Amino acid sequence: MTTSRSLALHTDVREQLCIENKPDPCTIVIFGASGDLTHRKLIPALFGMYLKKMLPEQFAILGCARSVISEAEFAKMVREDLTDFEGAGADETEEFVRHCSYLPGRYDNQQVYDELAVALRKLEEKFQTGGNCLFYFATPPSLFIPITEGLSSARLTDERRGSWSRIVIEKPFGHDLASSLSIDKALKQHVAESQIYRIDHYLGKETVQNILILRFANAIFEPLWNRKYIDHVQITVAETLGVENRAGYYEQAGALRDMFQNHMIQMLALTAMEPPAQFEANRYRDEIVKLIRAIRPFPVEELDKWLVRGQYQAADEAGVSLSYREEAGVDAESSVETFVAMKMMIDNWRWQGVPFYLRSGKRLKNRVSEIAITFKPVPHSIFAPVQPEQLAPNVLVLKIQPEEGIGLTLEAKTPGPKLCMNSLSLNFSYKDIFGGFTPNAYERLLLDCMTGDQTLFVRNDAVELAWEVFMPVLDAWSKTPETNALRPYKAGSWGPVKADDLLAQAGHKWR
Ligand code: NDP
Ligand code: BG6
């Protein structure tokens, strides 16, 4: 039996310690404004910021894409994006829509950028945006270079008269190391690194940011946070959704590129990095880079002991009637993986010998993202005949989503005359303490772009190193069929059974 208790956290005992920046007036230009990301995430995030007064009072939003959409149609699309928005009145929606406009055009046609320059000057006058521009590339990565070149030729990437010009690019940053390097080289011909914001929305999640606060604003964890006390770490990002309407993209990407090269490796880095001397963009990102550099290269000759890849199958009992290969837009013989599990080792003093197990997949049993840190058993049991290994290990669980919080399992005495022990779990839930309000990751990251804070954005060297970690795997999968075994798993399961073997080698189990 496991007992579950809630911890009461008093946030009102002293004033909260907050660091807050105010954004400058600006125009937000979204390329790919007809696409999924724009309408599902960016427009709602900008509206959320508007409602919370996180946007500057003087702002404009300009959508750009090839699709020929009139201003009125774009306004209608924006209204539709906001229909289910809680807490918004019609007046607020209309006032926000008044700040939105649209410019159609081909990304490789210089005329569009010249028209854009004219449109931006008009918006600057109308909304007093001060000439500051945030260019958000919500397009496939293949368009990053032509868009940057077009902006640069129209002098829109110049930072003149005290105004700023920043570009935001979305993951995946390229398709592989070579394409990532060439994108980066091309961008740098037109813009400085300080103008580039590589967004990984996991870094904007409150619970992901809290990893650092938990580790470095509390004295009790750091002494234990190493190979002496930690047995192993599990990082899980499980989704119940399938590929949805993104088959075109996903068929080119697969789970390793989609989740591991970015979100998963960043979470690993936050969990395992050394403390930076200061929470300042470059010092902090230096530590992320050092950690990624310390990841042990995967041994290509025995990849199946380190990684498992799978693809989901239909399962009526889970209410999933289509397997991945039957989804619209997916090749009927696709060998793209929708699940990956892996063991990683970090070759530094802190983590020598501690396995990090990572898994992520679509159509899994539950939607859950968490980081579970399992501590070593006590060195000696005073409760003979109970052996140390018979006592459940302490597990600290950083619950990223959907039930944000922190859990810690402890062994405790069960009340009564006998000496009985049981596992007790202490749970701190964001919802209980802070209410149901969880800030949207894109809101936080867009705010940081506007305030010029690159801390939560991925630096180019981290992107390259992350590709370097996974390129041997991607190469082996594409060139050596025997390393490429694709294991089917039923929708609604926890992935291929083979993924259990990765942990079983060391006597561990997935949580
Ligand atoms: P879409 O496939 O919806 O593309 C966005 C827009 O780009 C489209 O509306 C289209 O607009 C234009 N476009 C697409 N393909 C081409 C092409 N071959 N040539 C020219 N234009 C093209 O992508 P998403 O909105 O899903 O994603 C945008 C970016 O964000 C991608 O880099 C993606 O990896 C990343 N991302 C997306 C997430 C999501 O949840 N959607 C999550 C995380 C990252 P038009 O034809 O009108 O020009
Ligand atoms: C995106 C991936 O980056 O992250 C998607 O492209 C995935 O495939 C998504 O579904 C998961 O994000 P979240 O915030 O829903 O956990």
Q: Report the separation in Å between the CA atom of 138 and the middle of ligand 2, taken as the mean of its atom positions.
A: 14
171 annotated as belonging to a binding site for a ligand: yes
- The residue from 170, 193, 222 where one domain ends is 170
| ipTM > 0.90, yes or no | yes
Tell me which residue has tokens 């994006």: 81
What's the first-to-final CA gap in the chain, in angstroms? 16
Do 226 and 158 share a domain, yes or no?
no
Crossing angle for the helix pair 110-127 and 144-153, to the nearest 10 degrees? 70
Do 420 and 344 share a domain, yes or no?
yes
- The response to whether residue 258 sits with its C-beta less than 6 Å from ligand 2 reads yes
Do 334 and 423 share a domain, yes or no?
yes
Average pLDDT over residues 483-510: 95
Tell me which residue has tokens 């793209």: 336
- The response to whether residue 139 sits with its C-beta less than 6 Å from ligand 1 reads yes
Atom 4 in ligand 2: residue holding the nearest Cα = 259
CATH, residue 92: 3.40.50.720
Nearest ligand atom owner, CA of 245:
1
Do 381 and 487 share a domain, yes or no?
yes
Burial of 504 (0-12, 13-18, 19+ CB in 10 A): exposed
Work out the percent of the chain whose per-residue pLDDT is above 90: 86
Q: Does 477 have pLDDT greater than 70? A: yes
- The residue from 122, 151, 170 where one domain ends is 170
Do 151 and 256 share a domain, yes or no?
no
Q: Which residues of 399-438 are buried (b: 16+ CB within 10 A; e: fewer)?
A: bbbeebbbbbbeeeeeeeeeeeeebbebbbbbeeeeeeee
Amino acid at 372: A
269 in a structural domain: yes
Crossing angle for the helix pair 90-98 and 43-51, to the nearest 10 degrees? 120
| Residue 201: per-residue pLDDT | 96
- The response to whether residue 67 sits with its C-beta less than 6 Å from ligand 1 reads yes
- The response to whether residue 263 sits with its C-beta less than 6 Å from ligand 1 reads no
| Residue 16: per-residue pLDDT | 62
12 annotated as belonging to a binding site for a ligand: no
Atom 32 in ligand 1: residue holding the nearest Cα = 140
Mean predicted lDDT score pLDDT of the chain: 93
Residues in the chain: 511
Atom 5 in ligand 2: residue holding the nearest Cα = 258
76 in a structural domain: yes
12 in a structural domain: no
| Residue 482: per-residue pLDDT | 78
194 in a structural domain: no
CA torsion angle 401 402 404 405 (round to 10): -90
362 annotated as belonging to a binding site for a ligand: yes
* E strand or H helix that includes residue 490: strand 486-490
Residue 33 phi/psi, 5° resolution? -70, 0
pLDDT-derived band at 466 (thresholds 50, 70, 90) equals very high
pTM: 0.93
- The response to whether residue 370 sits with its C-beta less than 6 Å from ligand 2 reads no
Do 214 and 162 share a domain, yes or no?
no
Do 109 and 225 share a domain, yes or no?
no
Do 254 and 159 share a domain, yes or no?
no
Collect all residues with Cβ–Cβ distance below 8 Å to 280 and sequence separation of at least 6.
455
Average pLDDT over residues 68-95: 92
Q: Report the separation in Å between the CA atom of 442 and the middle of ligand 1, taken as the mean of its atom positions.
A: 16
* E strand or H helix that includes residue 405: strand 405-413
Q: What is the pLDDT of residues 219-233, one digit of tens each?
A: 999 999 999 999 999
510 in a structural domain: no
Please tell me the distance from the alpha carbon of residue 455 to that of residue 453, in angstroms, as a whole number: 6
479 annotated as belonging to a binding site for a ligand: no
* Domain region containing 235: 205-436+460-505
Q: What are the structure tokens assigned to 288, written together?
A: 């992320």
Average pLDDT over residues 277-281: 93
Tell me which residue has tokens 């590709």: 467
Q: Does 486 have pLDDT greater than 80? A: yes
Q: How many domains is the chain partitioned into structurally?
A: 2
Q: What is the pLDDT of residues 298-335, one digit of tens each?
A: 999 999 999 999 999 999 999 999 999 999 999 999 99
Q: What is the pLDDT of residues 137-191, one digit of tens each?
A: 999 888 999 999 999 999 999 987 689 999 999 998 999 999 999 999 999 999 9
Do 98 and 221 share a domain, yes or no?
no
Q: Report the separation in Å between the CA atom of 238 and the middle of ligand 2, taken as the mean of its atom positions.
A: 10
Do 387 and 483 share a domain, yes or no?
yes
Q: Does 399 have pLDDT greater than 80? A: yes
| Residue 9: per-residue pLDDT | 43
Q: Alpha helix (H) ranges present in 297-383?
A: none
- The response to whether residue 34 sits with its C-beta less than 6 Å from ligand 1 reads yes
- Beta-ladder partners of 202: none
- The response to whether residue 138 sits with its C-beta less than 6 Å from ligand 1 reads yes
Distances (CA, A) of 102 to 29, 204, 331: 9, 27, 34
CA torsion angle 380 384 389 394 (round to 10): -70
CA dihedral sign of residues 278, 279, 283, 284: positive
- The response to whether residue 445 sits with its C-beta less than 6 Å from ligand 1 reads no
The pick from 37, 73, 257 for probing ligand 1's pocket by mutation, whose C-beta has the most ligand atoms within 8 angstroms, reads 37
CA 169 to ligand 1: nearest atom? 32
- The residue from 170, 190, 219 where one domain ends is 170
Q: Which of 255, 240, 245, 239 is nearest to 329 (CA)?
A: 245
For 70-159, where are the E strands, in sequence order?
100-104, 133-137
Q: Which of 121, 122, 151, 119 is nearest to 135 (CA)?
A: 151
Q: Does 483 have pLDDT greater than 70? A: yes
The pick from 36, 81, 175, 266 for probing ligand 1's pocket by mutation, whose C-beta has the most ligand atoms within 8 angstroms, reads 36
Q: Does 3 have pLDDT greater than 50? A: no
Do 212 and 115 share a domain, yes or no?
no
Tell me which residue has tokens 């409760």: 383
Distances (CA, A) of 384 to 381, 388, 391, 470: 6, 9, 11, 47
Q: Does 4 have pLDDT greater than 60? A: no
What are the residue numbers of the active site? 263
Do 102 and 238 share a domain, yes or no?
no
- The response to whether residue 239 sits with its C-beta less than 6 Å from ligand 2 reads yes
Q: Report the separation in Å between the CA atom of 56 and the middle of ligand 1, taken as the mean of its atom positions.
A: 27
Q: Does 15 have pLDDT greater than 70? A: no
The pick from 42, 169, 239 for probing ligand 2's pocket by mutation, whose C-beta has the most ligand atoms within 8 angstroms, reads 239
Please tell me the distance from the alpha carbon of residue 450 to that of residue 168, in angstroms, as a whole number: 11
Nearest ligand atom owner, CA of 260:
2
Determine contact, residues 35/65, Cβ cutoff 8 Å. yes
Atom 6 in ligand 2: residue holding the nearest Cα = 258
452 in a structural domain: no
233 in a structural domain: yes
CA 106 to ligand 1: nearest atom? 48
Please tell me the distance from the alpha carbon of residue 189 to that of residue 151, in angstroms, as a whole number: 12
Q: Report the separation in Å between the CA atom of 245 and the middle of ligand 1, taken as the mean of its atom positions.
A: 11
239 annotated as belonging to a binding site for a ligand: yes
Distances (CA, A) of 439 to 32, 129, 231: 24, 26, 33
The pick from 201, 324, 440 for probing ligand 2's pocket by mutation, whose C-beta has the most ligand atoms within 8 angstroms, reads 201
CA torsion angle 141 142 148 149 (round to 10): 170
Q: Report the separation in Å between the CA atom of 61 and the middle of ligand 1, taken as the mean of its atom positions.
A: 18
303 in a structural domain: yes
| Residue 86: per-residue pLDDT | 78
CATH, residue 354: 3.30.360.10
Cα 78 off chain centre by: 25
Collect all residues with Cβ–Cβ distance below 8 Å to 44 and sequence separation of at least 6.
81, 82, 85, 440
